[in-house]
């Protein structure tokens, strides 16, 4: 049993090595085929990376939810602090921070860079503000909207803002990018399947005379098909490795632009590439597609070739 297993492994190793050698004997045609396959795999990989990074950005910006409560003009400081203490005691509120008109003007003067322009104002135009942070159980947009309605009913409240529109747009962009990545992945993987299948079918057609001779001397379809299965696997493996290199180059080219854009928004976000498990998944999936394409396309065509 051990000898049979060792003999089987030896045969598989020899066939795999021989098919790889045969690939390099026809460098021009095979390199062009591998290049087409690599670009076909790079496109969904880049779309996946875009969806992945957009999802990370969306998750980082959506939490925690924050509500801004604008108090009526003329509200005294004591009344505002009393309202702050009352809202802070609510079960759905994690934190309530009071920002007086003077504090708001100082922060605006410091961060907006309008110190000279603000010094020309006769009076402070900013209202008193309460910044409300809900507990984790009330972080969703629906629950935060309910909380905003409850806050607007409080005495002395002029307006409540839940700036969730841009978050909803960001979530819609995220969903679109994920759907687009999935669609492109399916289409490009189907293209890989068809390219490998058609390439191996043409190779089998070119070797029709040799296949007929092999069948005359008793070779089975499984024996004849084995080299084509390994060729399909090599196509998938080599093209996926090339696609990973191209994807990494795309990340390097875009990294500087992404860092500059993130800096404009005051973020330290950096473009995230493919993880090792994602790279391994791409390699395995591409190799499997190559084997399946060889099995279905070349295997079906092989049954039609019979000795004369």
User: In this predicted model, what pLDDT tens digit does every residue of 81-114 receive, in sequence order?
Assistant: 888 888 888 888 888 888 887 776 676 666 555 5
Tens digits of per-residue pLDDT, 2-38?
555 557 677 778 877 888 787 777 777 788 889 999 9
Region 299-304: mean pLDDT is 76
Give yes or no for a contact between 146 and 134, defined as CB atoms under 8 angstroms apart: no
pLDDT at res. 4: 54
**Cα–Cα separations (whole angstroms), residue 181 to 46, 98, 213, 271:** 8, 44, 47, 17
What do you get for the CA distance between the two ends of the chain, in Å?
Answer: 39
* Contact by Cβ (8 Å): 54, 140: no
Lowest mean pLDDT among 36-40, 43-47, 299-303, 304-308: 304-308
Distance CA 173, CA 54 (A): 8
CATH for 66-163 (3.30.70.3040, 3.40.47.10, 3.60.21.10, 3.40.50.1000): 3.30.70.3040
Q: State how far Cα 14 lies from the chain centre.
A: 39
The residue extents of the domains of the chain are: 10-61+174-304, 66-163
CA distance 264 to 35: 37
The whole-number average pLDDT for the span 201-214 is 82
CB atoms within 10 A of CB 79: 15
Which 8-state DSSP code applies to residue 89? T
Tell me the HSE value of 32 on the side-chain side, using a 13 A CA sphere. 4
Q: Residue 189: what pLDDT?
A: 85
Q: What is the chain's mean pLDDT, rounded?
A: 81
């Amino acid at each position: 049993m051990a000898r049979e297993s060792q003999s089987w492994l030896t045969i598989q190793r020899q066939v795999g090595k021989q098919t790889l050698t045969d690939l390099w004997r026809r460098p021009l045609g095979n390199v062009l085929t591998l290049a087409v396959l690599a670009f076909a795999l790079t496109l969904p990989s880049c779309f996946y990376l875009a969806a992945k990074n957009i999802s990370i950005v969306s998750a980082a910006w959506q939490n925690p939810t924050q509500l801004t409560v604008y108090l009526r003009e003329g509200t005294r400081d004591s009344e505002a602090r009393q309202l702050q203490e009352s809202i802070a005691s609510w079960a759905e509120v994690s934190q309530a921070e009071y920002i007086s008109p003077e504090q708001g003007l100082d922060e605006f003067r410091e961060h907006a860079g309008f110190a000279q322009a603000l010094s020309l104002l006769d009076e402070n135009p900013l209202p008193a503000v309460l910044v409300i942070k809900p507990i984790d159980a009330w972080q969703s947009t629906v629950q935060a909207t309910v909380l905003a309605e409850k806050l607007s009913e409080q005495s002395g409240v002029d307006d409540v803002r839940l700036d969730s529109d841009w978050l909803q747009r960001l979530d819609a962009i995220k969903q679109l990018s994920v759907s687009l990545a999935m669609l492109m992945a399916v289409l490009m993987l189907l293209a890989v399947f068809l390219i490998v299948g058609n390439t191996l079918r043409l190779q089998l057609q070119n070797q029709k005379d040799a296949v007929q001779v092999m069948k005359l001397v008793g070779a089975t379809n499984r024996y004849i098909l084995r080299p084509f299965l390994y060729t399909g696997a090599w196509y998938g493996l080599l093209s996926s490795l090339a696609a990973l290199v191209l994807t990494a180059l795309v990340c390097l080219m875009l990294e500087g632009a992404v860092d500059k854009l993130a800096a404009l928004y005051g973020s330290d976000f950096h473009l995230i590439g493919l993880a090792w498990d994602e790279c391994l998944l791409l390699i395995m999936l591409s190799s499997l597609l190559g084997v399946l394409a060889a099995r279905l396309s070349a295997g079906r065509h092989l049954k039609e070739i019979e000795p004369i």
